[in-house]
Amino acid sequence: MTYTEIREALNKLSLTERLSLMEDTLQLMREELQLHEPPPTEHDRKAQQLAAAAKALLPDYTADRELTGFTALDSEDFHETR
């Protein structure tokens, strides 16, 4: 079946039928992509966990001054004395 024939056939379907067909097609494409993608590595999984944890803690760090109190010193020079 050619591209033109597919387009002509799609035009004969109702909007609901075309939408359903598109959803089915996307699902098939997602499944095919998953077959060809390598599984996530341990490093990828840990990075995802850390990102999720950082995102979960963001409200705490933006609202709780005690957690960010030392950031006031960020602009000061640090010199180690011996």
Chain segment 37-67, per-residue pLDDT in tens: 888 899 999 999 999 999 998 888 788 778 7
Q: Could you tell me the two tokens for 55?
A: 């995102």
Return the ∠ at Cα 56 (arms to 50 and 57), rounded to 5°: 90
pLDDT recorded at residue 6? 93
Chain segment 5-39, per-residue pLDDT in tens: 999 999 999 999 999 999 999 999 999 988 888 88
**Domain chopping of the chain, boundaries:** 1-37, 41-71
How close are the terminal C-alpha atoms of the chain, in Å? 80
Q: Which residue has the higher pLDDT, 36 or 70?
A: 36
Q: Could you tell me the two tokens for 23?
A: 């959803």
Percent of the chain as helix, strand, coil, to the nearest 5: 75, 0, 25
